[in-house]
Amino acid sequence: MNRRVSWWLCVGVLGGLLGVLPSARAQSGDPADLEAPEWEEGEDYPAALDPVEPVQPEAESVPSEPQPEYQGPVGDDERMAPRPATAAEPASDEPAAPVSERRVEPFLFEVGAIGGLLYHRLTYRDDLYGFMNPYSLANAKEVGGYLSAYPLARADMGVLGQLGVELRYTHMITFDSQRSDGSSFPTRSRELVAGLRFRLACDALLNRGIDASVGFGGGGQTFDIGSAVALPNVDNRAAVPSRHYRFLRVDAATRIALDLGFFVAMHIGVRMITSAGDVDREEWFPHGRRWGLESGLQLGYVLPKDLELSVGFEAQRYMYRLRPQPGDSNVVGGLLDRYVHAQVRAGWRF
């Protein structure tokens, strides 16, 4: 029994060696001696397999949760609240328009007081008989005030915001005019101007410090010479006609801001006279034609708290063509009536 087992073991070992030797001989040979196997026609040629790269598993995408909108501060601590993302504003290629240092803003209200001296002169032209006496006045004291308002200037009201009102009044302190014979005549003078103003609210002017406007209105100006004390054999009437002008007016005005807080204000206008008082009477010049001019210039300085001081003048000039007719009491070609007010003003402009 043992011999038989040993016999079969020897046969198995021998068979194993015979199977291993040809494989070892093939592996030890030269690779160049290997020949490609021949394939007969019609047989399938095995395809060369390309190397396959390992496929990486794709990461599973997780949908992002929407960010909550900004709902204001959380609790009492505003720093804990999420801030909304703000998109950056695109940069503009156009440079910002520079703001002039002289730019002025339309004012709402202006009020002030006037103190000054009045200079007056009345002269005649082409006095045929030399009967007319000229009149002159110097250094007559006067006081007054002025007011301007644009109540809708800073409201978005269009043209209405440029519409305002104005008022100016001056009154000469009464004194007596003297005649060459010693007679005294009480003399009074006053002027009142009122009307509407329309401001030219143009950025091109305001940026240059120019506040321009035009005015429409009317008024009156009086220069009255009364009668002297009645004396025997003495004419107590003044040899100068009193003037009580009533007129309509149109003017243009501008105020220019200068450096260091100074400013200059000026105006010029025309007066259409509707009545002239004694000058129109039969005993003086009943056929006359007249018209007037006005002008003014002020140089001022702006003080703190919108207060301002200024010095300057106001002037009025009335011109007559008297056109005498046969039978008139006075034969004179023309008359010139002039007023100059040297003034100091103190005002508040808001």
* pLDDT at 148 (0 to 100): 95
Strands 262-277 and 184-199: unpaired
Element spanning 21, H or E: helix 2-28
Q: Which tokens belong to 71? A: 């709902």
* pLDDT at 47 (0 to 100): 47
CATH topology of domain 109-349: Lipocalin (2.40.128)
Q: Could you report the per-residue pLDDT of 148-177, keeping only the tens digit for each?
A: 999 888 777 778 888 999 999 999 998 888
Please report where in the chains the tokens 């160049």 appear, as a residue: 32
CA–CA separation, 341 vs 141, rounded Å?
A: 10
* pLDDT at 32 (0 to 100): 43
The DSSP output letter for 237 is S
SS3 for 247-296, per residue? EEEEEEEEEEECHHHEEEEEEEEEEEEEEEEHHHCCCCCCCCEEEEEEEE
Specify the pTM.
0.69
Query: Which is it for the CA torsion 304, 307, 313, 318, positive or negative?
Result: positive
What residues does each domain of the chain span? 109-349
* pLDDT at 234 (0 to 100): 67
92-102 core/surface letters (b: 16 or more CB in 10 A; e: else): eeeeeeeeeee
CA–CA separation, 299 vs 305, rounded Å?
A: 19
* pLDDT at 115 (0 to 100): 96
Q: Which tokens belong to 111? A: 């009020």
* pLDDT at 26 (0 to 100): 41
CA–CA separation, 19 vs 266, rounded Å?
A: 132
**For every one of its 350 residues, what pLDDT tens digit does the chain have, with 9 covering 90 and above?**
555 555 566 556 555 555 544 444 444 444 444 445 555 555 554 544 455 555 555 555 555 555 555 555 554 444 455 555 554 555 555 555 555 667 878 788 999 999 999 999 999 998 888 888 899 999 899 999 999 999 888 777 778 888 999 999 999 998 888 877 777 888 999 999 999 999 988 888 888 889 999 999 999 999 988 877 766 666 667 788 889 999 999 999 999 999 899 999 999 999 999 999 888 888 888 888 899 999 999 999 999 999 999 999 999 999 999 888 888 888 888 999 999 999 999 999 98
